[in-house]
Amino acid sequence: MEHQTRHFNGTTTVNEKGHLEIGGVDVLMLAKEYGTPLFVYDVELIRERSRGFKATFDKLGVTSQVAYASKAFSSVGMFQLIKEEGLSLDVVSSGELYTALAADFPVERIHFHGNNKSEHELRMALEHKVGCIVVDNFYELQLLERLCVEYNQQMEILIRVTPGIEAHTHDYILTGQEDSKFGFDLQNGQAESAMKMAISSSHLQPIGLHCHIGSQIFDTTGFVLAAQKIMGKLLEWKNAFDYEPAVLNLGGGFGIRYTDEDDPITPAEYVHEIVTEVINQSEKLGLTMPEIWIEPGRSLVGDAGTTLYTTGSTKEVPNVRKYVSVDGGMSDNLRPALYDAKYEAVIANRMNDKEQEKVSIAGKCCESGDMLIWDIELPEAAAGDILAVFCTGAYGYSMSNNYNRIPRPAVVFVENGEASLIVRRESYEDLVKLDVF
C-alpha cells in the first residue's frame, strides 16, 4: 500500500523527506534523540477524542462524567493531560491512585475500581477522599462500611452490576456476562441485596450503578441491551423500595481500528446511541434521567500511540517466510501474544518506497510466540530502519514488562512540532534497583 492512499490517524503524516511525522515532529528525530523502542503519543488526537466525548453529551443535554480508564496507559504526564482536558479518572489499584495523586489530579474526580481492593487500598481512598468507590462484591461492601465507621466518613459509591450481556470480543476482555469475576449479578438478586445493604448504611451513599460489558466492542447492541436490562431493574427497585439512582455508569469498551479488519463507529456515535437509549427508556418507564458516566480507555489513547522500533537481524526461511526482528516485542506489547491482536506498521524512514515484500515482524524476546505482526507488506527492511507500529497507545506501555530483563521503553508526547519526554527509558540500574545484593 502506498502512503498516498493510506489513512493515518490524527496528525500523523509523511513529510517532504519521505519520513513519518507525528505532531509535526519527524519520527527519525525522535528515534535519534530518545532511542528505540519508543512510545510516541499524538497529544492533539487525545485532546480531540476527549473533547469529542464531552461534546456529544453536551449536545444531548445530558449531565455526564467522562472518566479516563487509566489502565490503558497510566503515567503522571498522561494524568496531567487528562486533568487539563477536564475529564475524570478511573483507577483500579493503589498504584494507579498513587500516580494520580503524584499528578495532582483532583481527588473528587477519581473513581476507584477493582474486584479485590485491599483494606490498605480502601484506607488510601478514604484518606485521600476520592470522589467515589465502585463497589464490586459483598466482602468489599462490608469492609468499606467498617472503615467508613472507623473514619467517621461518608463515601459515595456505585454498585457494580453484571447485566448478563455477552459482548463479541476476546474471552479475556469480556466482563459483562453472568459468569464473571466482576460485580453483583443483576438477575439472581445479588445486586438488589447489595443495593439494599448500601441504602441502609449510615455512611455509604449509593449514588448509582456501574456496568462494563467488555472491551474493543464494535457495535452498540451490547451497550443498549445492558442499558435496557438495568433500566428495567431500576423500575422494579423504584416500585419495590423507592430507589432511583443519580448516576448510571456504563463503563468503557468502545472499539478502535487497529487494522482494516476492524470497522468501528466513532466514539461520538457510540455515546449518542447509548445515551439516546437511556433517555428513551427513562421516558418510557417514567424514571428520572440519571447522569451518565462513561469510562473510555482504549478509545481515548489507543490510536494516538505509535511505537518506534529499530530493525536488526532478518531471517529468510526459503519458501516459508522472512522474519524481520526489532529491538522490542512482547516486553513492550503483550497484546499479539496474549490476544492474537493485529497491528499495522510502516518503515518510517522510507515511506515513499514502492517496492514491497511480505515479511513477519519478530520481537527480541526468547520465545517463539514473541511475534508482533504475522505477514505484512513492507519495503525491504535493512538493519537500522525505523519500524513504526500504529495504535499501540492503549494497553501497550501499561502491560509492558521486564521479560529477559529488557528495559521498558521511553514515552514521548508530541504536539505542535514539539516533543516532550514523559516517561524516561528504564536504565540497567533501574533493572537491578530492587535486587538485594
Among the listed residues 109, 203, 335, 408, the single contact to ligand LLP using CB under 6 A: 335
SS3 (DSSP) at 52: helix
Q: What are the DSSP calls for 382-412, one per residue?
A: -TT-EEEEES-SSSSGGG---GGGPPPPEEE
Beta strands 418-423 and 410-415: pairing type? antiparallel
Q: Which of 349/400 has CB closer to ligand LLP?
A: 400
Residues from 6 through 25 that contact ligand LLP (CB under 6 A): none
366 is catalytic: yes
Q: What are the DSSP calls for 234-275, one per residue?
A: HHHHHHHH----SEEE----B---SSTT--PPPHHHHHHHHH
* Of 299, 250, 278, nearest in space to 65 by CA: 250
Q: Is 216 in the site for ligand LLP (CB under 6 A)?
A: yes
The residues with which 208 forms a beta bridge, in sequence order, are 158, 247
The secondary structure of residue 174, as a DSSP letter, is B
To the question of whether residue 296 is assigned a binding role by annotation, the answer is: yes
Among the listed residues 20, 25, 31, 69, the single contact to ligand LLP using CB under 6 A: 69
Fill in the per-residue mask, 292 to 331: x = in contact with ligand LLP (CB under 6 A), - = not in contact.
Answer: ---xxxxx--------------------------------
To the question of whether residue 339 is assigned a binding role by annotation, the answer is: yes
CB of 113 to ligand LLP, least distance (A): 5
Binding part of the chain for ligand LLP, among 220-228, 230-238, 246-254, 351-359 by CB under 6 A, reads 246-254
Angstrom distances, CA of residue 59 to CA of 54, 55, 271, 299: 9, 6, 11, 20
Q: Is 109 in the site for ligand LLP (CB under 6 A)?
A: no
Contact between 44 and 23 under an 8 Å Cβ cutoff? The reply is yes
To the question of whether residue 6 is assigned a binding role by annotation, the answer is: no
Fill in the per-residue mask, 120 to 159: x = in contact with ligand LLP (CB under 6 A), - = not in contact.
Answer: ----------------------------------------
Among the listed residues 252, 290, 363, 409, the single contact to ligand LLP using CB under 6 A: 252
How many chain residues touch ligand LLP (CB under 6 A)? Answer: 22
Assigned C-alpha cell, 432: 537491578
The secondary structure of residue 437, as a DSSP letter, is -
Among the listed residues 19, 212, 364, 408, the single contact to ligand LLP using CB under 6 A: 212
Helices (H), 180-220: 190-200
Place of cell 477519581: 110
Between CA 262 and CA 276 the distance in angstroms is: 25
CB of 170 to ligand LLP, least distance (A): 7
To the question of whether residue 335 is assigned a binding role by annotation, the answer is: yes
Q: Is 111 in the site for ligand LLP (CB under 6 A)?
A: no
To the question of whether residue 298 is assigned a binding role by annotation, the answer is: yes
Longest CA–CA separation in the chain, Å: 72
Among the listed residues 253, 267, 363, 409, the single contact to ligand LLP using CB under 6 A: 253
To the question of whether residue 253 is assigned a binding role by annotation, the answer is: yes
List residues near ligand LLP by CB under 6 A. Answer: 69, 72, 90, 113, 173, 175, 212, 215-216, 251-254, 295-299, 335, 339, 394-395
Active site residues: 366
Binding-site residues for pyridoxal 5'-phosphate sit at 253, 295-298, 395
